[in-house]
Amino acid sequence: MKNCAHVIKATNENVKVRNQSHIPNDLFFFILSKMSIKSLKRFGCVHKSWSLLFDNLYFMTMYRNSFLTKNHPYYDDTSVLLHQTFHTYLQEPYQLQTLSGERFEKRVNLDWPSVKLDPIYLHKEEYDSGFNIIGSGSVHGTICLLCASQENIILWNPSNKEFKLLPPSPFDSEPYWGVLIDHRSFGYDRVRDDYKVMCHGQVIQKYNYGIYSGSYIWEIYSLRSNSWRKINVDMEHNHMDCEQVYLDGLAHWMCSNEGRNQVYLLSFD
């Protein structure tokens, strides 16, 4: 009977040891989300799944939250992303900061991505190397930026400092006609696991500003295919002067018709 009890005890201890050796995915992600980008990339050779962490939406969301709260815990887990676009004597324009603390009194400056722009803009007196943010904020940790020159769009993840400069639209490269963009939107396609940027504008004659063709164009960029395509949307509208709101996988903004006697909500998924 003693031998039998000894066997049962040993078996239970083995089971206990095996259970302790298993780390749940949530705990595993939580631990790795506290590491630096340099360490995560170096540890990518340990296991194949580790090298794919940056493609995991759940992990990247957790990592972004950890990045924003690291070394300066926020009051009630709330933080504010402040984008300053005006110039003062004490601060440079186009600063991006995170605000933390009970009264959001702590400020941390974020460095913009180092993007090489067209040299033609560097010689303009009014040129500024800052960025505007497309939409109402980040989508799963990714921010869509528009260069101050209004020529380049960048997808940027501030947590891992990686960015993607979008190729120019082929629909704006005609010799005599161009597209005057009136608004842009940014969102995430959950079905295709793809980030997308959509632009709407009016076709105009190049080198003769003010001559319009009367036609509008919708174009959409896919990060997965790294290309633009034109989409057919038969909808007459003027974009109203308000920011896009991204909620539950949809980009929303207020629009009106040409006569401005009808106002409606336009959504993009």
Given pLDDT bands bounded at 50, 70 and 90, which one contains residue 103?
A: confident
At 109 the pLDDT is 78
Gap between the Cα atoms of 229 and 207, Å rounded: 25
More confidently predicted of 250 and 169: 169
- Per the model's pLDDT, the better-predicted residue between 142 and 6 turns out to be 142
Residues 6+ apart with CB under 8 A from 67: 158, 159
pLDDT over threshold 90, residue 226: yes
pLDDT at 229: 92
Q: Tell me the mean pLDDT in the region 141-153.
A: 77
Q: What are phi and psi of 60, to 5 degrees?
A: -65, -35
pLDDT over 70 (residue 179): yes
Q: Residue 38: pLDDT above 50?
A: yes
Digit-coded pLDDT (tens) for 235-244: 666 655 556 6
pLDDT digits (tens, 9 = 90+) for 41-89: 777 777 777 777 777 777 777 776 676 555 444 334 556 677 766 555 5
Q: Is the pLDDT of residue 186 over 80?
A: yes
72-76, 106-110, 134-138, 228-232: which range is least confident on average? 72-76
Q: What is the pLDDT of residue 117?
A: 58
C-alpha radius of gyration, the chain, whole number: 25
Residue 35: the pLDDT is 73
Write out pLDDT tens, residues 117-143: 555 444 444 444 567 788 767 787 788
**How do beta strands 131-133 and 106-110 pair?**
unpaired
Higher pLDDT, 155 or 139: 155
CATH of domain 126-268: 2.40.128
Residues of the chain with CATH 2.40.128: 126-268
The pLDDT, as a whole number, for residue 116 is: 64
pTM over 0.75: no
